[in-house]
A = this chain, B = another copy of it.
Amino acid sequence: MRTVHFTAETSADGVIERDFTVGEIPGVLWSPASGPERAPLVLMGHGGGTHKKWPAMAGRAHRLVTGGGFHVAVIDAPAHGSRPRTAYDEQEIAELYRARAAGEPEGPVVVRYNAQLAERAVPEWRRTLDALQELPEIGADGPVGYYGLNMGTAIGVPLAAVEPRISAAVFGLHWPDALAETAQRITIPIAFMLQWDDEHIPRDSGLALFDAFASKKKTLHANAGRHKEHPRFEADSAVRFFVRHLGRDVTSPVG
């Protein structure tokens, strides 16, 4: 149950894409088509309402593989992608749509539901990481990063707080309410993304979550624009962040 079972493989632009399952958890692993066998692993958490192969995930994965030489893994979060929803999931999703339609703030629903999803997702990520580290091209002692915005942060912050194998992380675009206390226990290098004109997350709330991390090395990237206008060039800055902290790039392989 802790073994990676590959179910499909394609290849494009120097990147191999392999669908996998670990038990009931569906995932995808993007890897360099060539180069040294062993490379650091970046785990990516997708946003709420999307799934493991959402364009933002595939796009970031390609940049991490071709720009950093990393392996990149994404799994479907509970109730997302092809995964079943519970009655509780249906209820919270309906409540979110209702709040949106009514023009009410969606923060309270998102914060509460994401915190519940994180409780289910964190053990799944740890099992998936156990399994991925059995692969010879990843290995049990290689560096591991985490990259997730929105719901990917709601899951990634509690994951990074309990998972010592994660040594650098990119977070952002979330509220501090359920996360700030956990962030205070995180000391690994982090980069944090914030939209300066976010219509959902008040500016002070975003800044408060960044401020909460205990990390000595932390960088905030705040960009002008609304919640969904987070710029694509920040995916390249994430590549360089992981190159700095996981110790690898395509021009100076350490694998």
Interface residues of A (CB under 8 A from B): 196, 207, 210-211, 215-224, 231, 233, 236-237, 240, 244
Contacts and interface: CB of A to CB of B under 8 A. Distances in A.
Number of copies: 2
A114 to B, nearest CB: 25
A219 B224 contact: yes
B196 A220 contact: yes
A218 B229 CA distance: 12
Contacts of A231: 219
A93 to B, nearest CB: 33
Contacts of A219: 221-224, 231
Max chain B Cβ within 10 angstroms of own Cβ: one of A196, A216, A219, A236: A219
A224 B233 contact: no
Given A196-B211, A218-B224, 20 more contacts: A196-B218, A196-B220, A207-B207, A210-B222, A215-B224, A216-B224, A217-B224, A218-B223, A219-B221, A219-B224, A219-B231, A220-B221, A220-B222, A220-B223, A222-B222, A233-B240, A233-B244, A236-B240, A237-B237, A237-B240
